[in-house]
Chain A
């Protein structure tokens, strides 16, 4: 089915470990972004990309790295996991159309111990 696919769905990391959250979309969307959701905080933008080879920081970028080598994929890297990065992570994509609605992935629940 077309949409945004995130893997893994669940992950437990030890403090200091690194890992990559995968995000892929097959809708040929130009925009892709990563959000984190914390209780009582809503969703906050980590990084976003307006096309292959172009990325930029969002509201809470520290501790995360991204790259966009293809239109389809937008991985999020945790460089050295910290307990403060325990959260639910959502990847989203949309067309380059002003105000178009985003399609979200199903989320990755990450726990850092």
Chain B
């Protein structure tokens, strides 16, 4: 069965600090997809990234970077030089591709990040 664990319930940092959000997943499939979503205080869900199980390259997008390690079943998210606008709840999610599509997303419980000025 699929499972996503975000052990950090809440994190508080001061602006300009780097912060890493942890995500550990469980799946029996060899083909799967991992996602990160951001939920700002306004409530909408914003797609940040997806990664398939065959691509272990790290990804960087501006101040955001993602580290995917199949050996430890982790897909961690780092924000460099955090800003107040990064304050949000961040969700990691997993989808198995055993039936041909991404029709089922399993979410972690989320990590609430607060960036203080």
**Contact indicator A45/B101 (Cβ below 8 Å):** no
**Contact indicator A90/B45 (Cβ below 8 Å):** yes
Q: How far is the CB of A49 from chain B (nearest CB, A)?
A: 8
The interface residues of chain A lying within 8 Å CB-to-CB of B44 are: 104, 106-107
Q: Is the interface of B mostly helix, strand, loop or mixed?
A: loop
Q: How far is the CA of A102 from the CA of B47 in the complex (A)?
A: 7
Interface string of B40-57 (1 = CB under 8 A from A): 000111010010100000
**Contact indicator B109/A50 (Cβ below 8 Å):** no
Counting chain B CB atoms within 10 Å of each CB, which of A48, A50, A56, A99 scores highest?
A: A99
Contact residues, A96-113 vs B (CB, 8 A): 96-104, 106-107
Q: How far is the CB of B113 from chain A (nearest CB, A)?
A: 15
Contact partner of B102 among A40, A100, A104, CB < 8 A? A100
Interface residues on A, range: 20 to 34
B33 within 8 A of A: yes
Q: Is the interface of A mostly helix, strand, loop or mixed?
A: strand
Contact residues, A32-56 vs B (CB, 8 A): 33, 35, 40-45, 48, 50, 56
Chain B interface (Cβ < 8 Å from any Cβ of A): 4, 9, 31, 33, 35, 37, 43-45, 47, 50, 52, 91, 93, 95, 97, 100-110
**Contacts A31-B102, A33-B104, A50-B103 supplied; 15 other A-B pairs, CB < 8 Å:** A30-B101, A31-B103, A35-B107, A42-B91, A42-B107, A45-B105, A45-B106, A96-B101, A97-B101, A97-B102, A98-B52, A99-B33, A99-B52, A102-B105, A104-B45
